[in-house]
Amino acid sequence: MKWEYGRRKKRTGNRFLVLLILLLGALAVAGYALMRSGVLPWPPKVAATAHGDAGSGTVAGSSTDAGGGTVAEADTGDPGEYVDSQFLMDTYVSIKAFGQGARDAVLAAFDEMRRIEAMTSRFVPTSDVSRVNQAAGLDPVQVSDETFMLLEKARECSELSGGAFDVTVGPVVDAWGFSTGSPRVPDPAVLAKAQSLVDFRAMELDPVQKTARLAAPGMSIDLGGIAKGYAADRAAAILRGRGVKHALIDAGGNIVAVGTRPDGSPWHIGIRDPRGSSPTDTIGPVVKVEDEAVVTSGDYERFFIEDGHRYHHIFDPKTGRPADRAESATIIAPNSLDADMLSTAVFVLGPVEGPKILAGLDGVSAMVVGPDGQLTFSPGFRAN
Ligand code: ADP
Ligand code: MG
């Protein structure tokens, strides 16, 4: 009985092995076919989790260029095209570039983005931002010209948005646990204390000395709503500087189009449906751009659900709680630094107040998905 069992087991094992190999082979072929067709995104985006980052507020539909499968494919076989995807600034960044020298240009662009991350991340202890945060309530800290420019831009956006955008939001982000990877609803007393420390007016900037100082201990600067945008602009500048005429950068929902597609037509960008069942579901019109940025802030990028309520990573400084006036806000702008901070600001303000702050800004427009899923467009939102 024992022997029989053993023999049968052995035979079944062999058959099983052959079947397994056949099945794996079929799966690999099918998976590759789906990837090439753009149905399966690659690399997979860590969507809708508290720690990961779905990255893209923009997606690739069959007719679009950004996000998902089309951008991130490893090798398309076109000798003039180079595509790469790397994890940096806490998100997947994909760059697709065309023409001679595309590969070296893309790699240099990634290096540039890592340089900016090292300077601006508050999770890198030696960064400008960390040094300013460590000295909160103490002495002014000298920072690089670039960091100083970003802090000035952030303050401008705070003023423009009446404080809906606030670069000193760090304590509130920490209170909700989004910086530690274990988000939770904070104790009301902890949240109240954190919220009392958020005030962009208490960030002192000295344009002569290029120093920054936070007035009170415990305050902290968080460039999460703006640094990726700047990094994507810098990546575009590196590509252009190396002669690349056609490229698309997707830094976790921050899209920058360099020139047109190689055939001279504009890049097609799809906007992710905040409540779509798949990250490749789009909403609204396909946006057609060249030499412009399209940036989306959404409540689906990082969130957790507790007691049936969605808590996400973009906060209303006035309440200290996740902003609840929009599901997403998309900005089209000449550069992605502006688009990034404005998308965060308009997201917090929502479809009624948000688009108003764009009125005096040249070439800037917005599409807001309201809490009810309704679309609101600012004047000049060009889709076609
Ligand atoms: P994402 O980084 O997911 O693309 P955003 O550009 O809108 O989305 O930036 C969100 C990040 O900005 C948060 O993770 C946090 O670091 C920071 N942030 C959150 N709320 C605000 C706010 N009201 N003003 C400025 N920055 C914010
Ligand atoms: Mg932003």
- Ligand 1 centroid, distance to 225 Cα (angstroms): 4
Asked if residues 65 and 269 have their Cβ atoms less than 8 Å apart, the reply is yes
383 within a domain of the structure (yes/no): no
Instruction: Name the pLDDT band for 315 (thresholds 50, 70, 90).
Output: very high
> In b/e form, how buried is each residue of 24-54, taking b as 16+ CB within 10 angstroms?
eeeeeeeeeeebeebebbbeebebbebebbb
Least confident of 53-57, 116-120, 367-371: 53-57
CA 23 to chain centre: 37
- Residues in the ligand 1 pocket, defined by CB under 6 Å: 165-167, 169, 173, 222, 224-225, 252-253, 297, 301, 313-315, 317, 340, 343-344, 347-348
What average pLDDT does range 272-300 have in this prediction?
A: 95
In angstroms, what is the span from residue 378 Cα to ligand 2's centroid?
A: 18
pLDDT at 143: 98
Based on the fold, state whether residues 157 and 298 are members of the same structural domain. no
pLDDT at 201: 98
In a domain, 38, yes or no: no
Q: Which of 174, 199, 224 finishes a domain?
A: 224
Per-residue pLDDT reduced to its tens digit, 122-136: 999 999 999 999 999
Q: Is the pLDDT of residue 25 over 80?
A: no
Question: pTM value?
Answer: 0.83
Q: Is residue 243 domain-shared with residue 218, that is, in the same domain? A: no
* Residue 259 belongs to domain with CATH number: 3.10.520.10
The candidate with the shortest Cα–Cα distance to 203, out of 218, 192, 191, 219, is 219
What was the pLDDT predicted at 30? 54
Flag whether 31 is in a domain: no
Same domain flag for 334 and 212? no
Among 50-64, 114-128, 147-161, 289-303, the range scoring the smallest mean pLDDT is: 50-64
Closest C-alpha residue for ligand 1 atom 26: 225
Taking CA atoms, 27 is separated from 6, 24, 34, 59, 384, in Å, by: 31, 5, 10, 25, 39
Handedness of CA 179, 184, 189, 192 (dihedral sign): positive
Predicted local distance difference test score (pLDDT) of residue 74: 42
104/53 Cα distance (integer angstroms): 27
Q: What residues make up the domain containing 154? A: 128-224
Which residue among 59, 222, 301 is best mutated to probe the pocket of ligand 1, counting the most ligand atoms within 8 A of its Cβ? 222
Domain assignment present for 15 = no
Looking at ligand 1, which residue's alpha carbon is closest to its atom 15? 224
**20 located within any domain:** no
Whole-number Å distance, alpha carbon 289 to ligand 2 midpoint, is 19
Select from 167, 169, 172, 318 the residue to mutate for testing ligand 1; criterion: most ligand atoms less than 8 Å from CB. Answer: 169
Predicted confidence at residue 16, as pLDDT, reads 59
pLDDT tens string 167-190: 999 999 999 999 888 999 999 999
Full DSSP string of 232-301: HHHHHHHHHHTT--SEEEEETTEEEEES--TTSPPEEEEEBPTT-SSTT-B-SPPEEESS-EEEEEETTS
pLDDT of the residue at 366: 98
Ligand 1 atom nearest to 296, measured from its CA: 4
Does residue 59 register a pLDDT over 80?
no
Per-residue pLDDT of 241-264, as tens digits, reads 999 999 999 999 899 999 999 999
Q: Which residues on adjacent β-strands are paired with residue 267?
A: 289
What percent of the chain has pLDDT above 70? 79
> pLDDT tens digits, residue range 336-358?
999 999 999 999 999 999 999 99
Domain contains 70? yes
Are residues 297 and 352 located together in one domain of the fold? Answer: yes
Cα(218) to centroid of ligand 2, in Å? 23
Tell me if 233 sits within 8 A of 293, measured CB to CB: yes
| Residues 363, 236 share a domain | yes
Inform me whether the pLDDT recorded for 383 exceeds 80: no
User: b/e for 147-159, b at 16 or more Cβ within 10 A?
Assistant: bbebbebbbebbe
Ligand 2 centroid, distance to 226 Cα (angstroms): 5
What is the per-residue pLDDT across 205-226, written as a single tens digit (0 to 9) for each? 999 999 999 999 999 999 999 9
Please choose from 168, 233, 313 the residue to mutate so as to test ligand 1's pocket, defined by most ligand atoms within 8 A of CB: 313
Looking at the CA of residue 297, tell me the nearest atom of ligand 1: 7
94 vs 62: which has the higher pLDDT: 94
Residue 78's pLDDT is: 62
Question: In this structure, are 98 and 245 located in the same domain?
Answer: yes
Question: pLDDT-based confidence at 80, cuts 50/70/90?
Answer: confident
Q: Determine how many CB atoms are found less than 10 A away from the CB of residue 310.
A: 14
pLDDT grade for 27, boundaries at 50, 70 and 90: low
Q: Closest ligand 1 atom, CA of 348?
A: 23
pLDDT band at 380 (very low <50, low <70, confident <90, very high): confident
Residue of 293, 156, 162, 150 whose CA lies nearest to 222: 150
Distance 314 CA to ligand 1 centre (A): 5
**What is the number of domains present in the chain?**
2
Residues 94 and 152 in one domain: no
Ligand number nearest to the C-alpha of 154: 1
Average pLDDT, the chain: 85
C-alpha of residue 227 to centroid of ligand 2, in Å: 8
Query: Measured between alpha carbons, how far is 135 from 221 in angstroms, rounded to an integer?
Result: 11
* pLDDT band (50, 70, 90) for residue 77: low
Cα–Cα dist 319/365, whole Å: 27
Task: Give the Å distance between the CA of 254 and the centre of ligand 1.
Answer: 12
**Which pLDDT score, from 0 to 100, does residue 94 have?**
97
Please tell me the residue having the least CA distance from ligand 1 atom 4: 297
pLDDT, position 20: 60
State in Å: Cα 55 to ligand 1 middle: 13
> Quick one: pLDDT band at residue 313, thresholds 50, 70, 90?
very high
Cα–Cα distance measured from residue 58 to residue 375, given in angstroms and rounded to the nearest whole number = 16
pLDDT value at residue 73:
33
Band of pLDDT at residue 157, cut at 50, 70 and 90: very high
Stronger pLDDT, 97 or 45, i.e. the higher one:
97
Is 240 found in the same domain as 322? yes
Residues with CB under 5 A from ligand 2 (ion): 225, 297, 340, 343-344
Residue 199 and residue 238 in one domain: no
Residue with CA nearest ligand 1 atom 9: 225
How many angstroms is it from 384 CA to the middle of ligand 2?
24
CB within 8 Å of 363: residues ≥ 6 apart? 292, 332, 333, 334
- pLDDT of 60 reads 40
Q: Are residues 132 and 88 in the same domain?
A: no
The answer to whether residue 272 sits within a structural domain is: yes
